Amino acid sequence: MTEVIFDKAFFSPETLKKAGYRFIDQFSVEFSSTEQSYVCRLIFKTNKTTEAIAALVKDFRNEVLDQDLRERIKQETEPVRNLILAHAFSKTSLVPHE
């Protein structure tokens, strides 16, 4: 088991869960929190070398950052995304026309 700690000021539990899910084939994650941090305990499915664990922890941290940015940018750009996608489908019979 390996602990990975994230500052609560920068990441949400949803982001950590999404990132953890991506590694479900390699390890499971046990979540807990302190006043300032989220603690992720990575429980590996099979025995791993120290190097392999370090590489997976690095990948997990990258995935958390990626998921965090995906979520934030997705929220920020929701109006333009919805507008453009709606425009794409606007002439189809999928969209009710008056």
Partner 1 sequence: MLSNFVGEYKILQREKLYSFARHQLPADDSDYIDLRAKQFLLDDSNSIAPQLLSIKTRTKYSRLADFTALHIFVVSLRCEHSCPYCQVSRQSEDRDSFDMTEEVADRSLELTFQSPSQNIKIEFQGGESLLNFDLIKYIVVQAKKINEKVNKHLGFVIATNLAPVTHEMLLFCKEHDIVISTSLDGPSDLHNKNRPRPGKNSYEKAIEGIRLVREVLGQDKVSALMTTTEASLNRVKDIIDEYIKNDFDGIFLRHLSPYGFAIKTKSYRAYSTERWLDFYKEGLQYIIELNKMGVPFREYYACTILSKMLTNSDPGFVDLMNPSGMGIAAIVYNYDGSVHPSDESRMLAEMGDNTFRMGNVLENTYEEIFSSEALVKPLEESFTLSAPMCSDCAFESFCGADPVYHYATSKDFLAKKPESDFCHRNMSIFKYLICLMEEDPYVKRLFFRWAHRS
In the list 50, 93, 96, 98, the residue contacting partner 1 (rule: CB under 8 A) is: 93
Distance CA 4, CA 39 (A): 6
Which backbone phi and psi does 40 adopt, to 5 degrees? -110, 120
Mask: binding to partner 1, 18-57, rule CB under 8 A, as x and -? Answer: ----------------------------------------
- Helices (H) then strands (E): counts for the chain: 3, 3
Q: Does 17 bind partner 1 (CB under 8 A)?
A: no
| Residues contributing to the site for partner 1 (CB under 8 A) | 62, 66, 69-70, 73-74, 77-78, 80-81, 84-85, 87-94
